[in-house]
Amino acid sequence: MAVTTNDLRNGMTLDLPEGLFAVVEFQHVKPGKGGAFVRTKLKNVRTGAVIERTFRADERVEQAIVEKREMQLLYRDGDEYVFMDSVSYEQLQVPRPVLGEAADYLLDGQSAVLQLYQAAVVGVDLPAAVELGVAQTEPGVQGDRVSGARKPATLETGLVVQVPLFVNPGDRIKVDTRSGEYITRA
């Protein structure tokens, strides 16, 4: 569906020749001389890369209607993740590269909101924080209480995060899905 650059809104998804982009920021500019234009900051839906782009006012761009469906991760089948629609019970196989970094935060049985465009998964919306178990980490040394000291911990999904020295294998921790950082013990 074609829209003009005057109709842009934050969060709107555009189908540009370079790929699918979500509008992060936009600003209408009317200089004293010359024609008006729209300065935008766009985020690639698939890669997360942010670009800045300037359009002429009234320039036509293609709007992409991205459907968001809540789905549950049933299981992993090799490099494929099998999701089930919570409403229609339809199953969908998604390759790991399509999920990107979101795969590091997904556990079997967990729900996620998948972004679909023309029946293809283009992204995943995760909650701000997820609870994951610590699979492996070095034990904290008694008496080693340096303030702010960190050690690497491998979580049950394979993700490695820096955690405080008091965290042990088997503990459940909360991890920020935006930055990949330890928040607190659960």
pLDDT in tens, the chain (186 residues): 788 888 888 888 888 888 888 888 999 888 888 888 989 999 888 777 889 999 888 888 888 888 888 889 898 888 888 999 888 888 888 888 888 788 888 888 888 888 888 878 888 888 888 888 888 888 766 655 666 678 888 888 888 888 888 888 888 889 888 888 888 887
Residue ranges of the domains in the chain?
2-62, 67-125, 129-185
CA distance 7 to 32: 22
Residue 23's contacts (CB-CB under 8 Å, 6 or more residues apart) are 8, 9, 10, 11, 12, 13, 14, 40, 41, 42
Q: Is 0.75 surpassed by the pTM of this model? A: no
Residue 52 is predicted with a pLDDT of 92
Number of residues in the chain: 186
pLDDT of residue 143: 59
What are the b/e assignments for 38-48, b being 16+ CB within 10 Å?
bebbbbbbbee
Please report how many Cα atoms fall inside a 13 Å half-sphere around the Cα of residue 51, on the Cβ side.
Answer: 12
pLDDT score for 11: 82
Of the candidate CATH numbers 2.40.50.100, 2.30.30.30, 2.60.40.730, 1.10.3210.10, the domain formed by 2-62 belongs to 2.30.30.30
Q: Which of 3.30.360.10, 2.30.30.30, 2.40.50.140, 2.30.29.30 is the CATH number of 67-125?
A: 2.40.50.140
What pLDDT is recorded for position 41?
92
Q: Could you give the CA distance from residue 15 to residue 19 in angstroms, rounded to a whole number?
A: 6
The SS3 of residue 96 is helix
**Is 2-62's fold the same as 67-125's?**
no
Taking alpha carbons only, the member of 183, 180, 185, 149 closest to residue 165 is 149
Q: Return the pLDDT at 145.
A: 62
